[in-house]
């Protein structure tokens, strides 16, 4: 019972930064592990980052580690993805997702998540 709406995507030059937001319209937002995935044309959905219910634990894909930061503001029912040093390879549709239950440490596949946003497009030019 969670509705997710992403925003903040757009066109940015390589080396630039962008911050994505995912607003949740639902109850007990803090009960959900929140994640970000991305999907480029012709490719499968790819795990990007995940954050635990209280924000204590995070995991990142190797391809974005050190450049992207996931965070959440439970009082605002929002999860963020700060993207720095963007590369053309980061170009994709970015989706946020919510998973119920306590932190398990295994959030690297889409099947783990119960609710999904509509996506926001990120395009990085060279």
At 116, is the pLDDT very low, low, confident or very high (cuts 50, 70, 90)? very high
What is the signed CA dihedral for 39, 40, 43, 47, rounded to 10 degrees? -30
The tens digit of pLDDT for each residue in 41-90 reads 999 999 999 999 999 999 999 999 999 999 999 888 999 999 999 999 99
> Could you give the 3-state DSSP secondary structure of residue 47?
strand
pLDDT of amino acid 102: 80
pLDDT: which is higher, 124 or 75? 124
Let me know if 90 is exposed, middle or buried by CB neighbors in 10 A (0-12, 13-18, 19+): buried
Question: Where residue 120 falls among pLDDT bands split at 50, 70, 90?
Answer: very high
In the predicted structure, residue 108 carries a pLDDT above the cut 90:
no
Q: What is the pLDDT of residues 22-40, one digit of tens each?
A: 999 877 888 999 999 999 9
């Amino acid at each position: 019972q969670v509705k997710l709406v992403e925003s903040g995507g757009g066109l940015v030059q390589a080396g630039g930064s962008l911050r994505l937001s995912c607003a949740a319209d639902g109850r007990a937002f803090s009960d959900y592990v929140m994640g970000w995935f991305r999907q480029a044309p012709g490719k499968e959905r790819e795990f990007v980052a995940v954050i635990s219910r209280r924000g204590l634990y995070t995991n990142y894909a190797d391809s974005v580690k050190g450049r992207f930061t996931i965070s959440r503001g439970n009082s605002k029912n929002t999860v963020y993805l700060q993207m720095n040093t963007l590369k053309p390879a980061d170009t994709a549709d970015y989706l946020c997702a919510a998973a119920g239950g306590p932190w398990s440490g295994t959030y690297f596949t889409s099947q783990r998540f119960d609710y999904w946003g509509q996506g926001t497009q990120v395009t990085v030019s060279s």
